[in-house]
Structure 1
């Protein structure tokens, strides 16, 4: 199987896909506690503009309007379809892999991205543009999911996720390791006050991480099978495991890095 040129959101995971809002809401429910905790670490200067890159449903942007009243909050994404019911911040529909988008956006006291760079083929370009968009004294915060298969107790869950990972890396350009590089990149760029947090998303009774994982598998599996990465029934046991509400296990790691621009 040769690598695809498809981009995340071209066909799979579009914001008009049935069930995509529920899938992203489950992910937000699983990780927002960590995002909110880490955003509170940053003393963003009053009056600075705030940017949420690849904001999806706009949940982090909305939080920024609550924690920084009066600040101009901008959320940029290639689709603003799922932001229509959220207010208090500017919606910008644009491709962050395009230099013209960054020329249009300007500079900010805080630039944030969550679960974005891992899915971009031009992640290095976007990381550099995000860093350039931060004003001196401002902050960059980047978070992504990082695979930690050795932490999963269920062998079938581990094997199914390996098939999912192989598919996403080859077909969509996803990286499930790049999140571990951000803190070092910030350090190398001369940022100060660099920090990192590492949190484990768990699955279990009423855990949103389980719903997110199961919805992702259900959504992608027909394409995974059609592309030859797995057989039709390979995911059944793992999905039942996730949705059964009886098992506790590790889902995936969530890594956040932040730094202040000199």
Structure 2
């Protein structure tokens, strides 16, 4: 679900580990299923936005941190784009589901020599929040656009946890964000700045939207968070904000009809590279 991320260097400070190493390792049984739960939650929203932006026949696309490849395949099979380059640091899930027009590349998008392109669409979902400098990555990804191309970036945004009443669910969410920040540098506090970062990168007609899926017992998003907490249990308990018993209680609460929390959502921002002929909308 993500490409990379930045051992803890002190309580409360960003970690220097990487997504897929300290937590969410692709070789850990069931990790692909966890990613697919996120896809079940967000893919329809993502595809609706990409289609609304014009993704279709003739488009060449770069899918960054492609995960299990659900968006890459839907771009080809539903939107009818010409080709998709799907990139991830570990491509085992991508390679398991080849389709015509899909090229799989094992690479680290933070490397200076990562310079494919240009592309009509560059898309990164749940990637930048795990990297040390979203501003740097937005600028880098924007340089991979063809004239008239569009960069679309999506990441988690948490609208209520900091101010919401204490419940088993909200305590677990706070521990998750802190534990992931301490361990691999995940930082969702910068996500609301994405439209600004796109403008700073020189892109035009910048806009953004937020989708917040409902928490319902047994829903893909509720199962996604429960599985995520289990895989990040060590990092979460390590914060001191929850212990194992409280985390178990939070999982039970998440699966109960009494859970009335608001899930972290997905903020999607996009901007166009000037094509010298017209302004994109």
With the length of structure 1 as denominator, give the TM-score of the two structures.
0.91
CA contact (8 A) 1:151 1:250 kept: no
Q: Is structure 2 residue 225 aligned with structure 1 residue 210?
A: no
Match for 2:198 among 177, 186, 195? 186
Deviations 1:26-52 (A, max 9, x none): 111111121011111112485332100
> What SS does the corresponding residue of 1:202 show, helix, strand or coil?
coil
Q: How many residues align?
A: 260
C-alpha separation in 2, matches of 1:147 and 1:248: 15
1:192: Cα distance to partner? 2.4
Deviations 1:176-228 (A, max 9, x none): 12221111222333322222111112211332110011001111113433565
C-alpha separation in 1, matches of 2:53 and 2:134: 24
Change (3 A) 1:29 1:260: same
Partner of 1:155: 167
Q: Is structure 2 residue 208 aligned with structure 1 residue 165?
A: no
Q: Is structure 2 residue 67 aligned with structure 1 residue 20?
A: no
Partner of 2:126: 115
CA contact (8 A) 1:27 1:209 kept: yes
C-alpha separation in 2, matches of 1:99 and 1:37: 32
Q: Is structure 2 residue 99 aligned with structure 1 residue 90?
A: no
C-alpha separation in 2, matches of 1:255 and 1:170: 23
> What SS does the corresponding residue of 1:100 show, helix, strand or coil?
coil
C-alpha separation in 2, matches of 1:208 and 1:201: 10
Q: Is structure 2 residue 61 aligned with structure 1 residue 50?
A: yes
CA contact (8 A) 1:204 1:249 kept: no
Change (3 A) 1:70 1:115: closer
Match for 1:125 among 117, 126, 136? 136
Q: Which moved more, 1:151-160 or 1:190-199?
A: 151-160
Partner of 1:196: 208
Q: Which structure features the higher share of helix residues? A: 1
Q: Which moved more, 1:221-230 or 1:25-34?
A: 221-230
> What SS does the corresponding residue of 2:62 show, helix, strand or coil?
strand
Partner of 2:6: none
RMSD: 2.1
